[in-house]
Structure 1
Amino acid sequence: MLKLRNVEKTYYSMLKTRAERVLKGISFEVADNEFVAIMGESGAGKSTLLNLIATLDDPTAGTITLNGQDLNQVKEDERAKFRREHLGFIFQDFDLLDTFNVQDNIYLPLVLAKKPLSLMNTRLAEIAPKLGLSEVLNKHPYELSGGQQQRVAAARAIITNPELLLADEPTGALDSRTSAELLNLLEELNQAGQTTLMVTHSAVAASHSKRVLFIRDGIIFHQLYRGNLTQLQFLTKISETLTAMLGEADQHF
């Protein structure tokens, strides 16, 4: 579904006297129905990578394709429409509108895409029960718990039936209980067929995925597959890899 080939990103100072090469030839693929986590320390390039995939920025070199479409060829004035039609987003801080009730928050991307109300109602009827939102559709976000708000954000992200769901540090602002609820939800969505790419610094969050890519200094340093491991066993392997990466980094100083 998603293919990156030799993707690079360099940021230049205003007068182009300094250059910072953030991504240095990233290549990987995400297959249909995969749940992939991207891990790395702050400054490793994981958020930059997510922005490129989300068409919020352009790579300096290399190609990114989604189901065969070259994202570099999506024109600037068509990118918002492309994101609405092909991508779903779950943000760290929910980004819900308190002036809208839950139902209208979920409907928002379909409203922007000018879809008919009948389609909105049909899709909401499919996802609201799965996410436990049927009883709160007429409430406003400020009346909900953090876990409920995150479920509303997830519903808004998937109501468009996105080809790819992008989650940017989705548990970063949540307590442990709400984080666990969200991560279990992402697993459930993936098991139902939703392809997901998540950027996280949390080994616990990453252990809910099927594969983890480790980024260090702008390159893919290592990857782990969950396979038949339990979530706890996978968490142990991820933690061991992170410890080894830190040990190697220390040897450079």
Structure 2
Amino acid sequence: MNELLSVTSVKKVYQSKLSGVSVEALKSINLGIDQGEYVAIMGESGSGKSTLLNLVATLDKPTAGTMYLNGMDLTSIPEKHAAAFRRDHLGFVFQDFNLLDTFSTKDNILLPLVLSQYKVKEMERKLMPVAKALGIEGLLEKYPYELSGGQKQRVAVARAIITEPELLLADEPTGALDSKTSEQLLQIFQQLKQRGQTILMVTHSSIAASHADRVLFIKDGQVFHQLYRGQKENYQFLETITETMTALLSKEG
């Protein structure tokens, strides 16, 4: 397998402007994600998982260490080029959808292509296969306020993948969804993975994590444990994740 994302000895220290106190959000993160791999990151609030996602998303820069996406040095992208880099190479799915209410579903999905100055014919060519794959082709003329939470999240996924990103980043993607809708979204993620999409997902949910190929556990700014799915079914992997979480928490206690 080709390694798509390489994170080596990454550290992130925040300096409080008021007190001058330094907070070490990430101590020394090392991880690699292969092309086409689906990886979940778990950890308690304040463990550093969201900080790590922000660094990979080039929304912040590490204090030390190196980060490469497909051979590109993420730490050296100039601020003025960062937005274009994200648009061209990364896809984002958030907990709160981040859709524009004044845009139709179609326009929300096409927004990244419009910003990248694609021609109308090319945008139309890309739109329908993505909409059909996500079962939202009948919603293209509707507006976000007319959609359910699950439909909104499907639109958000369509917007994230229409640019054919090298890496799809998902931040608590099931956080605002009920259990049935969450399961539908996680099935979509597994289908995307089967088509070769690389996914990095931050989640509190063991159920969400059980759909991934591998689960990384972060604690106190470090990767301290990981689990591989191997040949396990989702329910079997969920059992392993739950047992691991219980063991880690009891060990901590």
Is the structural similarity TM-score above 0.5? yes
Q: Partner residue of 1:244? A: 247
* Alignment check: 8 A CA contact 2:149 2:176 kept: no
Deviations 1:140-161 (A, max 9, x none): 1111221111100000000000
Secondary structure at the aligned position of 1:132 is classed as coil
Q: Partner residue of 1:105? A: 108
Q: Partner residue of 2:10? A: 7
Secondary structure at the aligned position of 1:150 is classed as helix
Long gaps (5+) in structure 2: none
Secondary structure at the aligned position of 1:127 is classed as helix
Q: Partner residue of 1:80? A: 83
Q: Provide the C-alpha distance between the structure 2 equivalents of 1:249 and 1:154, rounded to a whole number of angstroms.
A: 37
Deviations 1:43-94 (A, max 9, x none): 0000000000000001010011000000011001000000000000000000
CA RMSD of aligned residues (A): 0.9
Deviations 1:185-237 (A, max 9, x none): 11111111110000001100000000000001111010000010000000000
How far off its partner does 1:18 sit? 1.2
Q: Provide the C-alpha distance between the structure 1 equivalents of 2:147 and 2:79, rounded to a whole number of angstroms.
A: 36
Q: Partner residue of 2:32? A: 29
Percent same amino acid at aligned positions?
59
Q: Provide the C-alpha distance between the structure 2 equivalents of 1:85 and 1:158, rounded to a whole number of angstroms.
A: 11
Q: Partner residue of 2:95? A: 92
2:152 equivalent among 145, 149, 153: 149
How far off its partner does 1:16 sit? 6.9
Alignment of 1:169-180 (within 5 A): 169-180=172-183
Is residue 210 of structure 1 aligned with residue 239 of structure 2?
no
Q: Provide the C-alpha distance between the structure 2 equivalents of 1:170 and 1:136, rounded to a whole number of angstroms.
A: 20
Q: Which amino acid aligns with 2:15?
A: Y
1:233 equivalent among 233, 236, 251: 236
How far off its partner does 1:17 sit? 3.1
- With 174-183 and 54-63 compared, the bigger mean Cα shift is at 174-183
Q: Partner residue of 1:191? A: 194
* Alignment check: 8 A CA contact 2:12 2:26 kept: yes
Query: Normalised by the size of structure 1, how large is the TM-score?
Result: 0.97
Q: Which amino acid aligns with 1:133?
A: I
2:222 equivalent among 195, 203, 219: 219
Q: Provide the C-alpha distance between the structure 1 equivalents of 2:66 and 2:19, rounded to a whole number of angstroms.
A: 24
1:48 equivalent among 41, 48, 51: 51
Q: Partner residue of 1:167? A: 170
Q: Provide the C-alpha distance between the structure 2 equivalents of 1:163 and 1:17, rounded to a whole number of angstroms.
A: 38
Secondary structure at the aligned position of 1:243 is classed as helix
Deviations 1:89-141 (A, max 9, x none): 00000011111111101000111111111111111122111111111111111
Q: Provide the C-alpha distance between the structure 1 equivalents of 2:43 and 2:133, rounded to a whole number of angstroms.
A: 32
Q: Which amino acid aligns with 1:224?
A: L
Secondary structure at the aligned position of 1:85 is classed as helix
Is residue 117 of structure 1 aligned with residue 120 of structure 2?
yes
Q: Which amino acid aligns with 2:167?
A: L
How far off its partner does 1:15 sit? 5.9
Q: Which amino acid aligns with 1:175?
A: D
Query: Normalised by the size of structure 2, how large is the TM-score?
Result: 0.97
Long gaps (5+) in structure 1: none
Number of residue pairs aligned between Structure 1 and Structure 2: 250
- With 142-151 and 13-22 compared, the bigger mean Cα shift is at 13-22
